[in-house]
Structure 1
């Protein structure tokens, strides 16, 4: 005789509540929701089923999540490479990443100039070492070699 009640129904309701709570605060990727729910000790398969239901109902959207991340990171002065990397780590499909980035119509060269001027001012680098330091900073921020070169020629 099983004296413990079947927790699947109760867990399912708790998972639904948790997903609703998370999504009411901000957009989350499926990957992120799954991590948070399994960290709470919920069954992974049950969590995946519930997340899929939210996705099918368009309550959770990978594209909206990707768009939010792109807008947020561009506002922080991050380059395309670092944005793509972050979205890939959240298991966002490459085609959704492309859509989210192209929809924003970002001028990456202009953003690179803006970031560089905020960090270093308008003065040119005084020597080769300082120029290398600036290049490393811009690469760390996620800008490509081409964008860094374009930034130097546009100044």
Structure 2
């Protein structure tokens, strides 16, 4: 794919970062990891990423909002999104602030995910309810009660 020597110049590092950002938003940490995999040194990559932040082309806030929007529309809840964003290097305070914003109606999204997976409604037996609860927890909706 990329040779170790391809990302030795600042221009090459910036071009590679811009190519990645053209596809989708990335967090700072995610982009740093990808640039390092492509052969950039940590120090050189951080300098270019700081420039991208300064230019407004790289933003953890924008990444966080876009990520939460996209994943919540696919039926994932705040518990799972919090963990996924943590793994992508987004600051915990930013994640909490974005999740708490009034943009997302988590109970409605939980009901939608539940109804899509279980159109028959809440199970009548304990085993079925446990299965439904595990599904909702896996999706990131802790404490969800159907019905």
Q: TM-score, normalised by structure 2?
A: 0.89
Alignment of 1:1-155 (within 5 A): 11-103=9-101, 105-145=103-143, 148-149=144-145, 152=146, 155=147
The CA distance in 1 between the partners of 2:8 and 2:77, in whole Å, is 44
| CA-based RMSD | 1.7
Q: How many residues align?
A: 142
Moved over 3 A (4+): none
Cα 1:12/1:114, change in 2 over 3 Å: same
| Distance across 1 between alignment mates of 2:94 and 2:45 | 23
What is the alpha-carbon distance in structure 2 between the residues aligned to residue 16 and residue 71 of structure 1? 27
Q: What residue number does 1:4 align with? A: none
CA drift at 1:119: 0.4
- Give the superposition deviation at 1:10: 5.2
Instruction: Could you tell me which runs of 5 or more consecutive residues in structure 2 were left unpaired when the two chains were aligned.
Output: none
Name the TM-score, length of structure 1 as normaliser: 0.85
Runs (5+) with no aligned partner, structure 1: 1-6
Change (3 A) 1:49 1:84: same
Richer in helix (by share): 1
